[in-house]
């Protein structure tokens, strides 16, 4: 089955982010295809490389990055939601006149069209968070 995942909550404020990565990992291990993981609303905070959780806590961003490398996942962060929350890739930081970027490896920034495409191309769009 071809699946896409929508993550609407940040990594440490809601169970949805943990559930999303656990679901995605389990689906991949069962042989399902993940067409895209789209991060929207506060979910864009999953893609910052500046989060530093305590050593005894999970690092959800690193988990997404590792999963992306292992399975060649398409991790897309909504540009509008990201800009509102200060999440910028290198190109967007330059375009906005900022002196640095904070997008983690494996993530890319794009628009809502990528979410629409994911819904069209997938058998199911699984949503985590409000």
Residues with catalytic function? 78
Phi/psi for 119 (5° steps) reads -65, -35
Output the six-digit token pair for 77: 């962060």
Q: 3-class SS at 69?
A: helix
Q: 3-class SS at 51?
A: coil
Residue 125: strand pairing partners: 4
34 sits in which H/E element: strand 33-39
Task: Give which of 70, 75, 73 is closest to 87, Cα–Cα.
Answer: 75
């Amino acid at each position: 089955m071809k699946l896409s995942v929508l993550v609407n909550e940040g990594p440490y404020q809601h169970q949805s982010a943990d559930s999303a990565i656990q679901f995605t990992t389990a689906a991949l291990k069962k042989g399902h295809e993940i067409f895209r993981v789209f991060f929207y609303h506060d979910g864009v905070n999953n893609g910052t490389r500046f989060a530093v959780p305590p050593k005894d806590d999970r690092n959800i961003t690193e988990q997404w990055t590792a999963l992306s490398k292992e399975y060649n996942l398409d991790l897309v962060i909504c540009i509008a939601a990201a800009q509102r929350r200060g999440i910028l890739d290198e190109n967007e930081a330059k375009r906005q006149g900022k002196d640095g970027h904070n997008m983690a490896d494996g993530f890319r920034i794009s628009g809502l069209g990528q979410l629409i495409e994911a819904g069209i191309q997938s058998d199911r769009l699984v949503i985590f968070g409000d």
